[in-house]
Amino acid sequence: MPPFVLASQSPARLATLRSAGLDPAVIVSGVDESQADGLPPVELALRLAELKCAAVVGRDAVPEAALVLGCDSVLELDGAVLGKPRDAADATARWQAMRGRSGVLHTGHCLTDTGTGTTLSASAETTVHFADVTDAEIAAYVATGEPLRVAGAFTVDGLGGGFVTRVEGDHHNVVGVSLPLLRDLVRRLGHDWTALWTARG
């Protein structure tokens, strides 16, 4: 089976893949995300995933005939795109807008088989319902720094987990990578998903 490469510096994505039996090599793309500004939420998530994947595919560090995965997530609230907050004030304002409501988390996935040159892209959507948190809870959460590092200013696998009341769709997608969608992409590229459980990047 081909070696597997993750074109992302997200610890949560890496942990999710490892929990699913994959052990990817990590090569950070370094893509300037501002170049995709202005796109609708789904298109933005897909475009950023494609840019990250493409930025890594041609590097010398990528093993021969590897599968390279690029991912990016954005939260859609009232039609607006919410990536990583700019600062603490931005994170606070977002939580004040999100509390007691729901948003849609879009994660773009781009998978390239460098052995064949074939690339497939798809997005996964998950609806996230947020608790009606207090101002004090928001302030305490923002003070930890966690919401400043993630799209939508929240996590479900960290301190923010208690602020998410319900998830409709793939739970792993909210963490940053949809395992069922990734399995489908792997199979469409002609590879056996279960064989990747023992693959090493």
Residues in a beta bridge with 107: 73, 124
Nearest to 126 by CA among 65, 84, 171: 171
Catalytic center residues = 72
Nearest to 112 by CA among 39, 200, 182: 182
> Helical H runs in 35-192?
41-57, 88-98, 135-144, 171-175, 179-188
Distance separating the N- and C-terminal Cα atoms of the chain: 10
